[in-house]
Structure 1
């Protein structure tokens, strides 16, 4: 459950926007540990209205390509997590911070979705020679995919360095097409 309800966030944001009370006093008044949360709510509200404050009920799954584009944009422009989230129409800047941390620790593999839960037990005790070959084949396919992503990333980086304005103008219009969002149960 969320720590603060959507109604509470909206109340605090509207009170701040009246201009009668500052961030620190609001945080103290409502016993919020830090005024950073209020600042984030206000930025999201200004960018998206009520939808910026609402907590999403379903998990959105983003492609590795989309995550790389978001991190690349943030690095090249020097934008904060909040500014980057607004640019890419996301209302959770902490998600971008997690992606950045994973990318720094594990590289591009850290951005891939990982299967959750305990793996199922196999009925066979020893893998056959054919299964070993399949796993090697799968490894090579995975490596191929990662290399393709890396090449695509480097091409975009080169294009951005050559002409940043044209690159950003082109990708601002095509952002919704680049992300794959799915609802998960």
Structure 2
């Protein structure tokens, strides 16, 4: 359950926009935790309307390419996280900051991680063939691909 109801958020934002009072006045009037929360609500209302103040029922899933584009946009333009989030229609600017931090730590491979528990036998291919049934060339190819991936990750880490 959200801490503040949609009706309260809407009322506070509308009072702010109609110049009833400033951030600190409205914070004291409605007993809000801080002015930052009100600033966030006002920005969300200006960018997304009333939907920006509503609590989301499910988390949005973003593709790897979308995340990379957002990070590149931040790194190349010099815009703030909030400006990038507004441009990409994301209500949570902290999400962009998280992506940038992950990118700086692990490179582009940080976005291609699979979720959940890893497989118990990672050497087995998806079609469940035993390694003895694979030809020598397939086994060698698999080893080379794994080593290539490890070296690319190491290279990105050393660059960053």
TM-score, scaled relative to structure 1: 0.62
Displacement of 1:76: 2.3
The ranges of structure 1 where at least 4 consecutive aligned residues each deviate by more than 6 angstroms after the TM superposition are none
Alpha-carbon distance change, 120 to 67 in structure 1, aligned in 2, over 3 angstroms: closer
Query: What SS class does the counterpart of residue 13 from structure 2 fall into?
Result: helix
Aligned equivalent of 1:73:
73
Cα distance in 2 for partners of 1:91, 1:36 equals 15
User: Is the deviation greater in 28-37 or in 76-85?
Assistant: 28-37
Aligned equivalent of 1:98:
98
Q: Which runs of 5+ in 2 are unaligned?
A: 122-129
Larger Rg: 2
Aligned equivalent of 2:24:
24
Aligned equivalent of 2:6:
6
Cα distance in 2 for partners of 1:112, 1:67 equals 10
**Kept after mapping to 2: 8 A contact 1:85/1:92:** yes
Cα distance in 1 for partners of 2:103, 2:71 equals 9
Cα distance in 2 for partners of 1:7, 1:130 equals 64
Aligned-residue CA RMSD (Å): 3.0
Aligned equivalent of 1:173:
none
Displacement of 1:5: 2.8
Task: Name the count of aligned residue pairs.
Answer: 140
Q: Which runs of 5+ in 1 are unaligned?
A: 151-185
**Structure 1 residue 114 and structure 2 residue 114: aligned?**
yes
